[in-house]
Amino acid sequence: MRLILLGPPGSGKGTQANLLQDKFNIPKISTGDILRAAVEEGAELGQQAKKFMDKGELVADEVVIGLIKKRIVEPDCEAGYILDGFPRTIVQAEKLGETLAAMSKDIDSVVDLEVEPEELLVRLTGRRTCKNCGTMFHQTSHPPKVEDVCDECGEELYQRPDDNKETIVKRLEIYDRETAPLKEFYRKQGKLKTIQGFGGMDQIFSELCKMVS
Ligand code: ADP
Ligand code: ZN
pLDDT in tens, the chain (213 residues): 999 999 999 998 998 999 999 999 999 999 999 999 999 998 889 999 999 999 999 999 999 999 999 999 999 999 999 999 999 999 999 999 999 999 999 999 999 999 988 889 999 999 999 988 888 899 988 899 999 999 999 999 999 889 999 999 999 999 999 999 999 999 999 999 999 887 788 999 999 999 988
pTM of this structure:
0.92
Q: Which residues contact 101 (CB under 8 A, 6 or more apart)?
A: none
Closest Cα to residue 181, out of 120, 112, 117?
Answer: 112
Report in angstroms the alpha-carbon separations of 207 from 56, 116, 189, 195. 30, 19, 22, 8
**Are 13 and 205 spatial neighbours (Cβ–Cβ below 8 Å)?**
no
187 is catalytic: no
Closest Cα to residue 90, out of 65, 55, 53?
Answer: 65
160 is catalytic: yes
**Are 204 and 11 spatial neighbours (Cβ–Cβ below 8 Å)?**
no
Among 2, 13, 36, 128, which one carries the catalytic annotation? Answer: 13
| Nearest ligand to the C-alpha atom of residue 169 | 1
Residue closest by Cα to atom 10 of ligand 1: 32
Q: Which residues contact 29 (CB under 8 A, 6 or more apart)?
A: 68, 71, 72, 77, 81, 82, 83, 84, 86
Among 50, 88, 95, 128, which one carries the catalytic annotation? Answer: 88
Give the distance, in angstroms, between the CA of residue 137 and the centroid of all CA atoms in the same chain.
Answer: 16
Protein residues whose CB sits closer than 6 Å to any atom of ligand 1? 9, 31-32, 35, 52-53, 56-59, 64, 85-86, 88, 92, 162, 171
- Report d(CA 45, CA 61) in Å as an integer: 13
